[in-house]
């Protein structure tokens, strides 16, 4: 365990004491959000991202240790375990290295070498590899001819017969070829050669065929430099049969390295046959499997990167600023089937819904305008949320024109509708709106996303949110685990109103699974609103352990205890009340806006080190309590940039090079970011146009949902592409 702790500490650049304490908390069953928020003293203030990385590495390294034990046991049972093997297994850092060490001891399927061993040719192989025998090897090999010694039945079996000396020598060389291929040190060194000097090259399967992969029809790049998004693009092109992929390896260097290790300095009768055997071993056995391993390794690393990018983007989308206290019209654009409309009030309740046909083929602009203006007036609509899918552009132009005629001020916002159709047809949507048509549910979801992105997006499979890179190409199990973690961290960062939250939102709270979430809602329905967090202990299946994990993340507005609108954990209530008392306040003062202003001034001047000792709590915990008391009941998302509200529309034809525009970052990828500037097509800010300084990673500069100023640097009307720069 000490070894695992040291590795994780070095990799994450944190102290071994932090790793040790965190592992103990994880092993005791604490959730990552709980550890990140309420055990900062124990972990030394590690963030949720650091804790997730730590947890992932801990699982991998524990699996690695377990596999090492299995391999040692298996080799020992074969009576072949040596100190050297033990040493090599001990220093192996990856599962691939352990498998390379184990390779010679695995039960093999039938190979040319296993057949030769069954014929008893191993002693001859030993003689050849030692290169000391002076007698002609073919004369020596005659003693292995066994045709006369076999029964009539065995003579019929080719795998048992040695007819000639040449056959015997060839069988012995087959054994040597397999032994070379199984040698862990060769495989390790060959991989190093390939990673250092190898080139990944791609060619087209049909050059004349048009596809998204044309840049890869004749392409090559050094393995050590190729970025992960290109690996995934190449993999997809190969899978869709547009590309052939090959890894070019430094073959001469590899063969020279093996020859140097095997061949004696002075030439012998064995030199040429061993050179040919080394070449055969490399071409037939080593090269294909090394190529597979390198491709797998590159893919795994690329997938991990893509999953990380996807997670970062999803988190930003989930934590988008909510628009509170507004009545919103959800507008789900379409052509033939009509645009679905749903109006929801500030609490998310559906007021009205309809379908209008302002787009092709009906083009009923007049009828649609009349109906929607009537709804805007009747329901006092403040905003229109337009989904960004099919017919979005035409719908935006229609809405921009229509709101000019509205009797009240209305603006519109383009909202990502990714996953809305998945939600509409889901079991959850059917439970929420059993009497509303599937198609209308998408419009409700679009409107609600503007009011509270987090509460709405948790209802959708995270993969369907659609802000990633090649999310359908990566390991789906890993993606799901990662995204579940991202959603959990986001939900717990914001906190959840226990009296209004849906089961889907509650199920992401630390310590609460889907059955407990349903029980909370059932308890709420049967007993009315919860008045304090303690009541949670009356919810079936929510015991003391779950309570400890979830209590601080659940908010109770207008309850018995004003501290319960904050993230202060019940275990800190006593210390918090002592703190308030020490500066002349009371927890009930949190309900009075004027008193909160005065309290804020007093809290700013607190000596945290001294006060933490007096209250017998950790300084980091005290700082968190002070932050909560400064803004009781605040939503951390309120400080984020709000969506851009538009009242008029911009066409691609309106754009000119040099124009300065304000846009919303829709997606961040390895090579840049896509920005919605109000035309139909998102513009691309390439990584080289993000800053005057060198940037390694676009996510260091921007996140999904950021509002950015951009300059138009190139417009490609034919391909409908816009290049942007943030060097305004």
Task: Please tell me the distance from the alpha carbon of residue 627 to that of residue 579, in angstroms, as a whole number.
Answer: 13
520, 539 in Cβ contact below 8 A?
A: yes
Both 12 and 65 in one domain: the answer is yes
Task: Please tell me the distance from the alpha carbon of residue 421 to that of residue 487, in angstroms, as a whole number.
Answer: 20
Cis peptide leading into residue 374 (ω within 30°): no
How far separated are the first and last CA of the chain, in Å rounded? 52
657, 514 in Cβ contact below 8 A?
A: no
Strands of 218-222's sheet, edge to edge?
Answer: 218-222, 199-204, 243-248
CATH number, domain with residue 93: 1.10.10.650
Task: Please tell me the distance from the alpha carbon of residue 355 to that of residue 298, in angstroms, as a whole number.
Answer: 49
- pLDDT-based confidence at residue 467 (cuts at 50, 70, 90): low
Per-residue model confidence as pLDDT tens digits over 183-198: 999 999 999 999 999 9
Three-state DSSP at 692 gives coil
Q: What residue has token string 């754009």?
A: 655
Query: What is the phi-psi region of residue 393: left when phi exceeds 0, alpha when psi lies from -120 to 50, beta otherwise?
Result: alpha
Element spanning 191, H or E? helix 184-197
Mark 381-413 as b/e (b = at least 16 C-beta within 10 Å).
bbbbbbbbbebbbbbbbbbbebbeeeeeebbbb
Position 641 scores a pLDDT of 73
Instruction: Give which of 321, 302, 282, 64 is closest to 177, Cα–Cα.
Output: 282
Give the angle subtended at the CA of 431 by the CAs of 426 and 437, to the nearest 5°.
70
The lowest-confidence range among 23-27, 256-260, 436-440, 508-512 is 436-440
Task: Enumerate residues 6+ apart whose C-beta is below 8 A from 590.
Answer: 562, 563, 565, 566, 596, 599, 629, 632
Both 294 and 426 in one domain: the answer is no
Both 180 and 50 in one domain: the answer is no
Continuous H helices in 334-475: 365-379, 392-402, 420-424, 427-432, 438-451, 453-457
Per-residue model confidence as pLDDT tens digits over 623-658: 999 999 999 888 888 877 777 777 776 677 878 888
Position 272 scores a pLDDT of 94
- The HSE-up count of residue 524 (CA atoms within 13 Å, CB side) is 21
Phi, psi of 239 (to 5 degrees): -65, -35
Both 721 and 684 in one domain: the answer is yes
Per-residue model confidence as pLDDT tens digits over 572-611: 999 999 999 999 999 999 988 888 888 998 899 899 999 9
Both 101 and 26 in one domain: the answer is yes
pLDDT mean over 548-552: 96
Instruction: Give which of 24, 7, 29 is closest to 16, Cα–Cα.
Output: 7
Position 466 scores a pLDDT of 60
Using CA atoms, how far residue 145 sits from 13, 110, 166, 324, in Å, is 63, 21, 10, 90
pLDDT mean over 46-58: 94
Both 78 and 124 in one domain: the answer is no
Q: Do the domain assignments include residue 456?
A: no
Q: How are beta strands 411-415 and 383-387 bridged, if at all?
A: parallel
Cis peptide leading into residue 361 (ω within 30°): yes
pLDDT mean over 217-242: 92
Domain count, the chain: 5
Three-state DSSP at 666 gives strand
CATH number, domain with residue 251: 1.10.3500.10
Query: What is the phi-psi region of residue 13: left when phi exceeds 0, alpha when psi lies from -120 to 50, beta otherwise?
Result: left
Q: Do the domain assignments include residue 544?
A: no
Mean pLDDT for the chain? 90
551, 569 in Cβ contact below 8 A?
A: yes
- For 122, the domain range is 112-305
Both 248 and 159 in one domain: the answer is yes
Q: Do the domain assignments include residue 617?
A: yes
Mark 94-105 as b/e (b = at least 16 C-beta within 10 Å).
eeebbbbbbbbb
Position 75 scores a pLDDT of 93
Largest CA distance in the chain: 108
Both 185 and 276 in one domain: the answer is yes
- Whether residue 217 is predicted with pLDDT greater than 80 in this model: the reply is yes
- The residue among 631, 665, 681 that closes a domain is 631
Q: Count of CB atoms within 10 A of residue 604's CB?
A: 9
Q: Count of CB atoms within 10 A of residue 555's CB?
A: 21
447, 383 in Cβ contact below 8 A?
A: no
194, 290 in Cβ contact below 8 A?
A: yes
Both 337 and 382 in one domain: the answer is yes
- pLDDT-based confidence at residue 468 (cuts at 50, 70, 90): low
Q: Do the domain assignments include residue 117?
A: yes
CATH number, domain with residue 434: 3.30.420.140
Task: Please tell me the distance from the alpha carbon of residue 121 to that of residue 213, in angstroms, as a whole number.
Answer: 51
pLDDT mean over 131-135: 92
- pLDDT-based confidence at residue 364 (cuts at 50, 70, 90): very high
Both 141 and 71 in one domain: the answer is no
Q: Do the domain assignments include residue 310?
A: no
Q: Do the domain assignments include residue 541?
A: no
Comparison of pLDDT for 219 and 662, the residue scoring more: 219
- The residue among 72, 87, 105 that closes a domain is 105
Position 397 scores a pLDDT of 87
Both 136 and 67 in one domain: the answer is no
pLDDT mean over 216-235: 92
pLDDT mean over 530-544: 96
User: Is the four-CA dihedral 486, 488, 492, 495 of positive or negative sign?
Assistant: positive
- The residue among 406, 421, 451 that closes a domain is 451
Per-residue model confidence as pLDDT tens digits over 653-700: 878 888 888 888 888 888 899 998 877 778 899 999 998 888 888 888
CATH number, domain with residue 660: 2.40.50.140
Q: Do the domain assignments include residue 642?
A: no
Both 99 and 124 in one domain: the answer is no
Q: Give me the percent of the chain exceeding a pLDDT of 70.
A: 99
């Amino acid at each position: 365990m000490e070894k695992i702790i040291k590795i994780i500490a070095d990799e994450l650049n944190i102290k071994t004491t932090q790793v040790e304490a965190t592992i103990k908390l994880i092993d005791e069953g604490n959730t990552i959000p709980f550890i990140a928020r309420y055990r900062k003293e124990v972990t030394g203030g590690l963030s949720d991202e650091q804790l997730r990385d730590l947890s992932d590495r801990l699982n991998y390294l524990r699996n690695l240790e377990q596999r090492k034990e299995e391999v040692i046991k298996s080799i020992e049972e074969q009576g072949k375990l040596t100190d050297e093997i033990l040493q090599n297994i001990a220093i192996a850092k990856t599962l691939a290295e352990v498998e390379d060490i184990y390779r010679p001891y695995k039960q093999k399927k039938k190979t040319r070498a296993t057949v030769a061993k069954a014929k008893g040719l191993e002693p001859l192989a030993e003689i050849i590899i030692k290169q000391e025998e002076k007698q002609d090897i073919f004369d020596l090999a005659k003693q292995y001819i066994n045709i006369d010694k076999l029964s009539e039945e065995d003579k019929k079996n080719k795998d048992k017969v040695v007819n000639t000396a040449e056959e015997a020598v060839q069988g012995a060389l087959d054994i040597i070829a397999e032994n070379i291929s199984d040698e862990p040190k060769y495989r390790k060194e060959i991989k190093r050669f390939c990673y250092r000097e190898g080139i990944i090259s791609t060619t087209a399967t049909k050059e004349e065929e048009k596809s998204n992969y044309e840049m890869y029809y004749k392409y090559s790049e050094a393995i050590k430099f190729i970025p992960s998004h290109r690996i995934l693009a190449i993999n997809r092109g190969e899978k869709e049969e547009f590309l052939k992929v090959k890894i070019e390896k430094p073959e001469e260097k590899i063969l020279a390295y093996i020859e140097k290790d095997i061949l004696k300095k002075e030439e012998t009768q064995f030199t040429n046959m061993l050179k040919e055997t080394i070449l055969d071993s490399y071409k037939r056995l080593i090269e294909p499997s090394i190529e597979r391993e390198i491709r797998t390794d590159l893919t795994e690393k690329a997938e991990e990167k893509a999953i990380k990018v996807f997670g970062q983007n999803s988190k930003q989308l989930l934590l988008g600023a909510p628009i509170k206290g507004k009545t919103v019209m959800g507008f789900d654009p379409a052509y033939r089937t009509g645009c679905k409309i749903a109006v929801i009030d500030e609490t998310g309740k559906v007021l009205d819904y309809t379908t209008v046909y302002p787009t092709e083929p009906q083009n009923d602009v007049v009828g649609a305008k009349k109906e929607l203006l009537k709804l805007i007036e009747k329901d006092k609509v403040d905003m229109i949320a337009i989904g960004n899918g099919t017919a979005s552009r035409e719908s935006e132009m229609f809405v921009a024109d229509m709101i000019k005629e509205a009797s009240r001020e209305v603006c519109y916002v383009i909202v990502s509708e990714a996953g809305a159709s998945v939600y509409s047809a889901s079991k959850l949507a059917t439970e929420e709106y059993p009497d509303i048509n599937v198609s209308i549910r998408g419009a409700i979801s679009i409107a609600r996303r503007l009011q509270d992105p987090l509460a709405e997006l948790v209802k959708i499979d995270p993969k369907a949110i659609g802000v990633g890179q090649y999310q359908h190409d990566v390991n789906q199990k890993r993606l799901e685990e990662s995204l579940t973690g991202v959603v959990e961290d986001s939900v717990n960062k914001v906190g959840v109103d226990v009296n209004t939250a849906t089961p889907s939102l509650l199920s992401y709270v630390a310590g609460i699974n889907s059955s407990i979430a349903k029980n909370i809602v059932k308890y709420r329905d049967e007993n009315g609103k919860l008045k304090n967090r303690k009541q949670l202990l009356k919810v079936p299946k929510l015991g003391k352990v779950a309570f400890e994990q979830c209590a601080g993340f659940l908010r109770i507005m207008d309850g018995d205890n004003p501290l319960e609108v904050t993230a202060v954990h019940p275990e800190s209530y006593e210390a918090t009340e002592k703190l308030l008392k020490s500066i002349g306040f009371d927890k009930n003062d949190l309900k009075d806006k004027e008193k909160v202003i005065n309290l804020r001034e007093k809290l700013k001047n607190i000596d945290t080190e001294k006060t933490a000792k007096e209250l017998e709590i950790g300084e980091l915990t005290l700082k968190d309590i002070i932050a909560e008391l400064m803004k009781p009941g605040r939503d951390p998302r309120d400080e984020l940039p709000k969506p851009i509200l538009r009242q008029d529309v911009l066409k691609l034809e309106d754009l000119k090079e040099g124009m300065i525009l304000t846009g919303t970052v829709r997606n961040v990828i390895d090579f840049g970011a896509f920005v919605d500037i109000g035309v139909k097509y998102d513009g691309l800010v390439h990584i080289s146009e993000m800053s005057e300084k060198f940037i390694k990673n676009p996510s260091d500069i921007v996140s999904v949902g950021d509002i950015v100023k951009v300059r138009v640097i190139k417009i490609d009307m034919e391909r409908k592409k816009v290049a942007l720069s943030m060097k305004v």
